[in-house]
Amino acid sequence: MKVGLFGANGRMGRVLIEALNEHDNASLSVASVRDDSPWVGMDVGELAGIGKLETACSALSTINPAVVDVMIDFTLPAAFDSNLKWCVTNNKPVVIGTTGLSAAQLDLLADAATRIPVVFAANYSVGVNLMLSLVKQAARALGATADIEILEAHHRFKQDAPSGTAMAIGEAIADELGRDLSTCAVYGREGKTPPRDHNTIGFATVRAGDVVGEHTALFADIGERLEITHKASSRLTFARGAVQAAMWLTQQDAGQYGMNDVLSLNQ
């Protein structure tokens, strides 16, 4: 399978180069960067720090769709619209890991999915997606009495807060309990606050150092609490999951899918 990357010079782009290089059944055919990027023409292996691979980074405008089976996009919201347009125009499936998308961009994604296959997930770790199933089970059992908080930590460079994964955890819990996360979420607390509203779902965010990603769903009742935690120690976890999603996606019809579909967690 021939895989193309948008934003090859980004943190996840470099790790995806490594993940594709080690894969037995997928190969990197295109590694694109902005047209004005200083990385145009650089060997992708040297960019990723794994040694020369004899494939050069190419400008976004020069991507040849004929050498691509599926694209992977882990860039930023500013690049999302043009990347998605390229995929729709060239009828290429796309795996999207970009977080912090606006409501308008989510509408664009939904429209694109009527024409091409799309996997869109806040997190491509197998463990995190299993966690999303576990928090639903915990919500069913404990949601009537427990207070629910979501704690997340990431590296100092992450721009969106709470993380897309934290929001996905919150959505999973809220959906299970019949709540609307947009009205019941509480993002941080400061000063003198009233007693906690049981129906709220709280979020706490840490940005520090080189933390890859840590998420905890806390269900706290009087006398006991349950904590469901996932900690990532390497971005390769996410990259390998994205490659798995890309291979699965090439066999699907147009539509919007999630990692629960890729991993058959809905069955």
Active site residues: 154, 158
H/E segment holding residue 104:
helix 103-112
For tokens 């629960």, what's the residue? Answer: 260
257-263: list long-range contacts, CB under 8 Å, 24+ apart.
257/117, 257/118, 257/119, 257/120, 258/119, 258/120, 258/121, 259/119, 259/121, 259/123, 259/124, 259/126, 259/129, 260/129, 260/132, 260/133, 261/119, 262/119, 263/126, 263/129, 263/130
Helix (H, G, I), strand (E, B), or coil: what is residue 29? strand
Lookup result for tokens 């150092």: 209
Given a contact cutoff of 8 angstroms between Cβ atoms, the answer to whether 112 and 88 are in contact is yes
Cβ-proximal residues to 183 (8 Å cutoff; 6+ apart), any chain: none
Which tokens go with 221? Answer: 């009742």
Cα three-residue angle 95-115-97, rounded to 5 degrees: 15
What are the C-alpha distances in Å from 206 to residues 169, 213, 254? 16, 10, 37
| The two structure tokens encoding residue 264 | 């058959």
CA neighbor of 148 nearest in space, from 161, 139, 159, 160? 139
N- to C-terminal Cα separation, the chain: 26
